[in-house]
Amino acid sequence: PLDVPLVRNRIKIRSVNGWFKKSLDEDGTPSWDWFIDPEDGIGYIRLTSFNDDSFNDFLVAVDEMRATRDLRGLILDLRFNPGGLLDSAIRFSNLFVDDGEIVSCEDRDGITVWSRPATPQMA
């Protein structure tokens, strides 16, 4: 028999991307240009999935944009986003929805089993 040692490692899936990748650091972490229209202050974030780090990475990206120039608008690109963690998606929804129901689950008879209301927060 042949023994092959396996090393388990955590792979970070980056789900928050900018408009243009400027460079990569020594660890392979990209540096993004977040502005699709710098003159008018229009930022761009592509969210490829809702994972554990997505929300905080999004807030860091917005902070980076605000630190470099006046952020007057933001394009949040969700195309080809297959979903992910429900709690992460709810946190994002709360940035944009002030009141009402964010998500609910019904049984086969149409009776609501659980729901999550909007809880607005500031980014």
What percent of the chain shows pLDDT beyond 90?
80
Residue 8 lies in a domain: no
As given in the structure block, the two tokens for residue 42 are: 């229009």
Provide the domain count of the chain.
1
CATH of the domain at 24: 3.90.226.10
Which of 58, 62, 52, 55 is CA-nearest to residue 11? 52
Residue 123: pLDDT band with limits 50, 70, 90: very low
Which one is predicted more confidently, 12 or 35?
A: 35
Q: What average pLDDT does this structure show over 28-55? A: 95
Domain region containing 89: 16-117
User: What does the pLDDT look like over 57-114, one tens digit per residue?
Assistant: 999 999 999 999 999 999 999 999 999 999 999 999 999 999 999 999 999 999 999 9
Is 123 domain-assigned? Answer: no
Tell me which residue of 53, 20, 52, 13 sits closest to 35, measured CA to CA: 20
At residue 55 the predicted structure's pLDDT band, cuts being 50, 70 and 90, is very high
Residue 120's pLDDT is: 78
Q: Is residue 4 part of a domain?
A: no
**What's the predicted TM-score (pTM) here?**
0.82
